[in-house]
A = this chain, B = another copy of it.
Amino acid sequence: MQEHEKLFKDFLKAKGLKLTLPRRVILDTIFTYHQHFNVDALYDVIRKDHQNVSRATIYRTMPLLVESGLIKQSLRCQSKDHYEHIYGHSDHLHFLCIKCGNIIEVESKEIEKTLKKLAATKNFDISDYNLGAKGVCESCQKKIL
C-alpha cells in the first residue's frame, strides 16, 4: 500500500470510515495522473478502467480527501471546482491565464510567511491558503488578437 493510501486509510479509520475499493481507485487515480483536476475530468479517466465508479462517489469522496489533507480545493475554473495535490507538493501560488486557461505555479515561501504574520495580528487560525492571480501569460501576450 502506497504512502498516500496509508494516510487516507488512517484518516478514514479515525472517523469510523472505510477505505473501500472505489475510494482507493479515486485516490490512486488522482495521485497517478493528475496535478490540477476537476471531478469531470477525473471521472473520465477513472471510467476508462473502472466502469463501475459513479460520479456521486467521486463527489462524495472529494471532501474526505480534502479533509484528510491530501488534496485541497483550488481555483474554480469554467464553473467547476478544481483540486490539487498537497501531499508531496510544496506550497505555491497560481497564475491563471484567462486566455489559454493554463496555470503557472510559483513557489511562494515569502508570501506565505507574510500571510501568516498578518493572520497572527488578527488572531486568525488559518487552515487553508488561497493565493494567486488571474491575467495573461507570456505566450498569450505574444499572440496578436
A144 to chain B, nearest CB (A): 15
B135 touches A128 (CB 8 A): yes
Does A129 make an interface contact (CB < 8 A)? Answer: yes
In the complex, which residues of chain B have a beta carbon less than 8 angstroms from the beta carbon of A127?
A: 98, 133-136
Question: CA A125 – CA B132 in complex, angstroms?
Answer: 12
Contacts A104-B124, A131-B130: A118 and B137 contacting too (C-beta < 8 A)? no
B104 touches A125 (CB 8 A): no
Question: CA A97 – CA B130 in complex, angstroms?
Answer: 13
Query: Chain A: how many interface residues by the 8 Å CB criterion?
Result: 33
In the complex, which residues of chain B have a beta carbon less than 8 angstroms from the beta carbon of A141?
A: 123, 125
Does A7 make an interface contact (CB < 8 A)? Answer: no
A135 touches B131 (CB 8 A): no
A130 touches B124 (CB 8 A): no
Binary flags per residue of A93-116, CB closer than 8 Å to B gives 1, else 0: 101011000001010101100110
